[in-house]
Amino acid sequence: MIGPLTNSSLSGCVSFRELLLHYQVSSLFKYKKRSRFVSGSRLSQALLKVYADIVHRVTYLLLLQINYLITMGGSMIDDDWELASSSSEVRTVVLVGRTGNGKSATGNSILRRKAFKSKTSSSGVTSTCEMQRTVLKDGQVVNVIDTPGLFDFSAGSDFIGKEIVKCMDLAKDGIHAVLVVFSVRTRFSKEEEAAIQSLQTFFGEKISDYMVVIFTGGDDLEDNDETLQDYLGRECPEPLKEILHLCKNRVVLFDNKTKDEKKQVEQVHQLLSLVDMVVAENGGQPYSDEFLAELKQGAMKLRNKREEVESLKGYTKQEILGLKEQIYRSYEDQLRRITEMVELKLRETTQRLEKKLAEEQAARLKAEQIAQAAQLKSNDEIRQLRESLERAQRETEELRRKSERCTIL
Ligand SMILES: Nc1nc2c(ncn2[C@@H]2O[C@H](COP(=O)(O)OP(=O)(O)OP(=O)(O)O)[C@@H](O)[C@H]2O)c(=O)[nH]1
């Protein structure tokens, strides 16, 4: 029998613990380097700081996640750990957004019961990812994962890491839709913009194919006799417009306070229609992070191999040991590839951010040059105007003096 894989059985291959440590140390250096790069602009520096912080956190937690999967490798192989299935009856949705935007309340509206704690609190009520499930009348199962404010900047990397690992683990069958929750009762913040951007930068553009935007506070709009369209007409800054455009205007308004049953059913129905649209547009494939998919595939292969070995009777102890070694070696290869993927993704992300900042800096420089040239031109024009004015004054004075002299004569 082959025992569960442990980290010690992976000696000789790249250690994720080392990679984690290396990343923690090197990210400080990288951050310093990037800061110098944009030393011309305070705005870019502030943005970069936000980006760098998020990329650092997300990278760290991805490494943490992989480390966790490696540590859990054996037991997960023993468990019922399958590749993402695309069952049409199950929908798994994840609620993300800033603390207090109404994620838990929206989750409760979807489930039509008070499953998640929801109340006003400045420090956040939801402390950990949690999944609740409901079965609709037509038999469709909806899994709702509520998350704490993962991209609130007060949260620490360790906490975020653990929570994302938990969230991915809860969403065993993949994520059918990411419900990005905003509130009409609070202004769209820079922090929200940066969080969505980094979500895309890191997890790839395709994450936006899974996004549905929910605005909570439908009752507030109703009190002001406004529709969502009215609200977006007056309160839609450019980055929010971009998000709505990216997710093809999949947006729905929720009133989590309503007692009107018809309204409750309608808004959930509207949301689930959008989720169905997402599922159809993605060919029924739920979002599943490529690293996780790769790991899961590796685990499946290993399990198959193990079953193969176990089913083969008549092998000598020596032969079984040889086969075991072969399996470990393929696992090590698998890990090495994933390490390379993480590093590649990190490099790509950093390069993309640096390119974006370089472009911003170039555009700013160009704008400054244009402004400077315009300033010079207008200075020149003003000088010329002043000169001609002075000339005209002198000529008028001359004329006046001449006419005075004529009058005297
Ligand atoms: N008026 C109104 N209040 C809402 C609505 N949705 C949520 N709220 C209120 O907003 C507050 C925060 O809601 P939560 O559901 O706890 O928000 P959250 O995003 O889950 O916050 P955390 O769990 O702390 O991360 C609560 O007092 C809710 O009652 C809504 O549609 N209308």
Residues 162 and 179 both lie in one domain: yes
63/179 same-domain check: no
**Residues 137 and 219 both lie in one domain:** yes
Residue 179 three-state SS: strand
- Ligand 1 atom closest to 147 (CA): 25
Ranges under pLDDT 70 in the chain: 1-88, 119-126, 150-162, 164-165, 194, 197-204, 289-315, 323-324, 326-350, 409
Boundary-marking domain end, from 304, 323, 342: 342
Smallest CA separation from ligand 1 atom 1, residue: 217
Any domain includes 16: yes
Which atom of ligand 1 is least distant from the CA of 126?
A: 23
Helices (H) and strands (E) in the chain, counts: 12, 6
Domain shared by 12 and 128, yes or no:
no
- Protein residue with its CA nearest to atom 10 in ligand 1: 102
Q: For a substitution probing ligand 1, which of 96, 106, 256, 260 has the most ligand atoms within 8 Å of its CB?
A: 256
HSE-CB at 139 with a 13 A cutoff on CA atoms is 3
DSSP sequence for 319-346? HHHHHHHHHHHHHHHHHHHHHHHHHHHH
Say which CATH number the domain at 156 has. 3.40.50.300
CA of residue 102 to ligand 1 center, whole Å: 3
Beta pairing partners, 130: 146
Tokens of 381: 């024009």
Residues 235 and 109 in one domain: yes
Nearest to 91 by CA among 287, 262, 297: 287
Residue 247 near residue 214, CB atoms below 8 Å: no
- Are 60 and 203 found together in one domain? no
Phi, psi of 109, rounded to the nearest 5 degrees: -65, -40
Quote helix, strand, coil % in the chain, to nearest 5: 65, 10, 25
pLDDT at position 30: 40
What's the confidence (pLDDT) of residue 72? Answer: 45
Q: What pLDDT shows up at residue 65?
A: 53
Q: Which residue among 96, 104, 163, 254 is best mutated to probe the pocket of ligand 1, counting the most ligand atoms within 8 A of its Cβ?
A: 104
**Does residue 294 share a domain with residue 271?**
no
Q: Is residue 398 part of a domain?
A: no
Residue with tokens 């309340």: 105
Task: Assess whether 128 and 184 both reside in one domain.
Answer: yes
Q: Assess whether 267 and 178 both reside in one domain.
A: yes
Rounded distance from Cα 345 to ligand 1 centre (Å)? 35
Residue 53 lies in a domain: yes
Residues 6+ positions from 244 with CB-CB distance below 8 Å: 213, 232, 236, 251
* Ligand 1, atom 23: closest residue by C-alpha: 126
- Residue 393 domain-assigned (yes or no): no
The alpha carbon of 149 and the centre of ligand 1 are apart by a number of angstroms equal to: 12
Residues with CB under 6 A from ligand 1: 97, 99-105, 118-121, 124-126, 148-149, 216-220, 254-257
Backbone CA torsion sign across 53, 56, 62, 68: negative
Supply the residue whose CA is at minimum distance from atom 28 of ligand 1: 119
Calculate how far, in angstroms, residue 108's C-alpha sits from the geometric centre of ligand 1.
10
Question: Which domain range does residue 256 map to?
Answer: 90-281
Tell me what pLDDT residue 358 has: 86
Cα of 104 from ligand 1 centre, angstroms: 7
Give yes or no: residues 74 and 96 share one domain. Answer: no
Please report the atom of ligand 1 found closest to the CA of residue 149.
25
Structural domain count, the chain: 2
63 Cα: distance to centroid of ligand 1 (angstroms): 32
- Give SS3 for 186: coil
Centre of ligand 1 to C-alpha 258, Å, is 13
Given this model, what pLDDT does residue 147 score? 87
Q: How far is the CA of 128 from the centre of ligand 1 (A)?
A: 16
Rounded-to-integer distance, Cα 113 and Cα 132, Å: 10
Note whether residue 1 is domain-resident: no
Q: Quick one: which atom of ligand 1 is closest to the CA of 216?
A: 31
